[in-house]
A and B are shown apart, each in its own frame.
Chain A
Amino acid sequence: MEVKVDLKSMKHENFKDNEYIEQLVKELREGGTNVVVGVLDDVINWGRSNSLWPLTFATSCCGIEFMSVGAASNDMARFGFEVTRASPRQADFIMVAGTIVHKMAPVLKRLYDQMASPKYVIAVGGCAISGGPFKNSYHVVKGVNEIIPVDVYIPGCPPRPEAMLYGMMQLQRKVKLERFFGGVNKKEKRPEQDK
């Protein structure tokens, strides 16, 4: 069965090509997907990708822009990111908006651990990606991927709200591609497959 990653709110050609997603599609095609469970997956993913709720998490400047994304003029609810959730138990993904410093690192890790699977991470802004302008500091973590796995990176300092929306839609595309039943690319690999 054909694997599609179309989002209603944005046509496929409007996305800049994403090698990672292409790779996933290729793997899926090669693996072949059963029509029955594939459709089941599609239905589930349609629901999941259109109701991804972020955690209310912000440490600094990027967080304010993220608030803008949630407010009137950008309104991320249009694309299914309906509300931000204050509790990690209820959130689907975490936007790491802002610098993560040494003291905060264990806290962030704990928040991530408290979220229920399937869960995703978006690193927003230079700071979360690499330490940004504070890379040489004694107290700044040089990229959150040192602590937790990252699904989407949104560069910028801070990224514009449009960029954030674009990045969040990339996450939707990724979610659309996941297979729970007939899949070859479940999010978490079995430990023995790692070796």
Chain B
Amino acid sequence: MSNIYDKIKAIVPEVTIEENGLSMVVVPSEKMPIVASYLSEKESFDSLVALIGNDWGDSLGVVYIIDSTATNERVVLKTSTTDKENPMLYSVVNVWQSADLNEREVYDFYGIRFIGHPDMRRIFLREDWEGYPLRKDYDMSPEANPVPQTNEYNADTTISLQEQPDGTIKEEERVVFAPEDYVVNIGPQHPATHGVMRFRTAIEGETIKKIDPICGYIHRGVEKLAEGLTYPQTLHFTDRLDYLSAHQNRHALCMCIEEAMGIEVPERAKYIRTIMDELSRIGSHLLLYSTLCMDLGSITAFIYGFRDRDKILDIFDDTCGGRLIMNYNKIGGVMADIHPEFVTKVKNFIKYMPKGLAEYHALFSGNIIARNRMEGVGVLSKEDAIKFGIFGPTGRASGWANDVRKLEPYGVYDKVDFEQVVLTEGDTYARYMIRLKEIEQSMHIIEQLIDNIPEGDYAAKTKPIIKLPEGNFFKRVEGARGAFGVYIESKGDKTPYRMKFVSQGLNLIGAVDHITRDSKIADLIAIGGSLDYVIPDIDR
């Protein structure tokens, strides 16, 4: 850190460093473009992990967490503006493409407009929404924004702020869809969008010209809610974001809090958590298999996939008391010890599952129709995967080894031997295959752990009132469909000052337009299914 800090300081002498949990390099807002392009071009910081808006009372600003895929170094930048009436910051979209939707999110929540961003529209809330909800002075009364009774209107143009040579900022109107474009509306209620996602799709004949994704049909305002709750109370939100990686998400939040407080988690809890994470991963990949195949016309595959997924849910049910939403991890460990039959049931499942997988391959992987619809369709190159910030299996199917379990081992992943599956084709078929291969690896991990769960406590003793020390904390885990991050800014209270969930899926949506361009409209279904986004996780 100090090393890169010195380098940045050599370029921009005004930067300072803020050591508070994470060490942040504070960059004056007007210097941000220089620092950003220096980092990405000269220092190979090419992967934007998180872009977090915040309201610090007297100023509004953004925190950037940036990784280098070459050296695995990390740098955290912070920039802010004190102008609360008309806040503006420089966009980093031309440096890190994945900032696109993230900056729109910050605009939506905080009203910060980004200079140089091509498309400054709201992303989650309706265009006629009043105010910026995550600002601290936002009027929460329901009267301010009642439940809308009218249908939504979507403008076909957008605003982009551009800096003129003389230093003034000019608003330029940009066209999203021209009058001659033929726009088909897919979603939000469409059986193949896997939730309430909406794509405004411009087509020419059957070929997709452009997709304008519209999110927010399940935006539940979780981050704002979390600011009013104590830490243990915030835990339950994570299960309900990406409900298919419920264990992993909650694991991330618990670890972030534990790390901040310096709680030592017992070994037993770590083992249990890791096994549960892997079981959820298998469950989630099975769901992908089921739904993708169903979207491509194979209902049988759906029935098979769900049959096997239910076995995992039964295991969860025994120990956690819930099938889908488990609420199992807690600060310091897990809520309850494993069920007496847990080990046997998991072993039976591991014994059973290879048979299931063989069946899947026989049923679908080799099917000529399925292969024609998937092979070579929706190709994402490795460079683009990094550019768009596509983590998880989707990125690995394009050849980017980005597994957080390997990069920043947590739980007991450093004790087990498993292979990070990486494919290079980057097409829909690779994205499909990688899921099935990851199921095998997950089973391999569980096999190594299940007999060795150490005796001892399943949770560390914690104080009745949990307070985090002042500072900023960030923790990532490998969710079932990408890296899931939790960022907490604490002022030393019982409640977080800012809690940001770094979504697994937002970047996938950001890349949909790129991946589907010039494909056939029917391929959108296959591509969307293989990207495996979960909408509540995107919208939060």
- The 8 Å CB contact of A57, one of B142, B189, B304, B325, is B189
- The 8 Å CB contact of A64, one of B147, B237, B287, B303, is B287
Contact A137 B220 (CB under 8 A): yes
Known: A57-B189, A60-B535, A65-B323. A72 touches B307 (CB 8 A): yes
Q: In the complex the two chains form, what is the Cα distance from A58 to B189 in whole Å?
A: 8
Within 8 A of B (CB), among A119-147: 133-134, 136-141, 146-147
Shortest A31–chain B CB gap in Å is 36
What residues of A have a CB within 8 angstroms of the CB of B217 in the complex? 59, 101, 103-104, 107
Contact B303 A72 (CB under 8 A): yes
Contact A71 B148 (CB under 8 A): no
Known: A59-B217, A101-B217. A64 touches B243 (CB 8 A): yes
Contact B219 A101 (CB under 8 A): yes
Contact A61 B325 (CB under 8 A): yes
What residues of A have a CB within 8 angstroms of the CB of B147 in the complex? 102, 105, 141, 146-147
Contact B145 A138 (CB under 8 A): yes
Within 8 A of A (CB), among B360-389: none
Query: Per-residue CB proximity of B307-336 to A under 8 Å, as 1/0?
Result: 100100100000000011100000000000
Specify which of B126, B240, B536 lies most central, judged by the most chain A CB atoms within 10 Å of its CB.
B240
Known: A67-B306, A73-B310, A86-B191. A59 touches B218 (CB 8 A): yes
Shortest B15–chain A CB gap in Å is 36
Contact B221 A140 (CB under 8 A): yes
Contact A134 B221 (CB under 8 A): yes
A positions within 8 Å CB-CB of B:
56-61, 63-65, 67-68, 71-73, 86, 98-99, 101-107, 110-111, 133-134, 136-141, 146-147, 157-158, 160
Q: In the complex the two chains form, what is the Cα distance from A33 to B221 in whole Å?
A: 51
- Offer 20 A-B interface pairs, CB within 8 angstroms, sorted by A: A61-B243, A63-B195, A64-B287, A65-B323, A67-B306, A68-B306, A71-B290, A71-B306, A71-B307, A72-B310, A86-B190, A101-B218, A102-B125, A102-B126, A106-B151, A107-B217, A140-B220, A140-B221, A157-B325, A160-B323
In the complex, B149 has a CB within 8 A of chain A: yes
What residues of B have a CB within 8 angstroms of the CB of A160 in the complex? 323
Main secondary structure of the interface of B (DSSP, over half): loop
In the complex, B302 has a CB within 8 A of chain A: yes
3 closest A-B pairs by CB:
A71-B306, A137-B221, A72-B307
Known: A60-B535, A139-B221. 18 other contacts (CB 8 A): A59-B196, A59-B217, A60-B240, A60-B536, A61-B240, A64-B244, A65-B324, A71-B290, A71-B306, A72-B304, A72-B306, A102-B147, A104-B217, A105-B148, A134-B221, A139-B219, A140-B220, A140-B221
What residues of B have a CB within 8 angstroms of the CB of A158 in the complex? 323-325
Within 8 A of A (CB), among B233-256: 236-237, 240, 243-244
Contact B310 A138 (CB under 8 A): no
Q: In the complex the two chains form, what is the Cα distance from A106 to B149 in whole Å?
A: 6
Q: In the complex the two chains form, what is the Cα distance from A107 to B214 in whole Å?
A: 14
Q: Whose C-beta in chain B lies nearest to the C-beta of A147? A: B147
Query: Per-residue CB proximity of B137-161 to A under 8 Å, as 1/0?
Result: 0101010010111111000000000
Contact A71 B302 (CB under 8 A): yes
Within 8 A of A (CB), among B186-234: 188-191, 195-196, 216-222, 224-225, 228
What residues of B have a CB within 8 angstroms of the CB of A71 in the complex? 290, 302-303, 306-307, 310
What residues of A have a CB within 8 angstroms of the CB of B216 in the complex? 101, 103
What residues of A have a CB within 8 angstroms of the CB of B133 in the complex? 138-139
Contact A138 B140 (CB under 8 A): yes
B positions within 8 Å CB-CB of A:
124-126, 133, 138, 140, 142, 145, 147-152, 188-191, 195-196, 216-222, 224-225, 228, 236-237, 240, 243-244, 287, 290, 302-304, 306-307, 310, 313, 323-325, 535-536
Q: In the complex the two chains form, what is the Cα distance from A102 to B126 in whole Å?
A: 9
Specify which of B147, B191, B216, B304 lies most central, judged by the most chain A CB atoms within 10 Å of its CB.
B147
Known: A103-B217, A105-B147. A134 touches B196 (CB 8 A): no
Shortest A145–chain B CB gap in Å is 12
Q: In the complex the two chains form, what is the Cα distance from A111 to B310 in whole Å?
A: 31
Q: In the complex the two chains form, what is the Cα distance from A73 to B206 in whole Å?
A: 39
Shortest B355–chain A CB gap in Å is 16
Contact B195 A60 (CB under 8 A): yes
What residues of B have a CB within 8 angstroms of the CB of A137 in the complex? 220-222, 224-225
Contact A134 B148 (CB under 8 A): no
Contact B148 A102 (CB under 8 A): yes
Q: Whose C-beta in chain A lies nearest to the C-beta of B306? A: A71
Q: In the complex the two chains form, what is the Cα distance from A104 to B217 in whole Å?
A: 5
Q: In the complex the two chains form, what is the Cα distance from A160 to B152 in whole Å?
A: 34
- The 8 Å CB contact of B310, one of A57, A68, A105, is A68
Known: A73-B310, A134-B220, A140-B220. A107 touches B188 (CB 8 A): yes
Contact B150 A133 (CB under 8 A): no
What residues of B have a CB within 8 angstroms of the CB of A140 in the complex? 220-221
Shortest A99–chain B CB gap in Å is 6
What residues of B have a CB within 8 angstroms of the CB of A105 in the complex? 147-148
What residues of A have a CB within 8 angstroms of the CB of B306 in the complex? 67-68, 71-73
Contact B303 A61 (CB under 8 A): no
What residues of A have a CB within 8 angstroms of the CB of B195 in the complex? 58-60, 63
Known: A60-B218, A105-B148, A140-B221. A73 touches B307 (CB 8 A): yes
Shortest B141–chain A CB gap in Å is 9
What residues of B have a CB within 8 angstroms of the CB of A56 in the complex? 191
What residues of A have a CB within 8 angstroms of the CB of B224 in the complex? 137-138
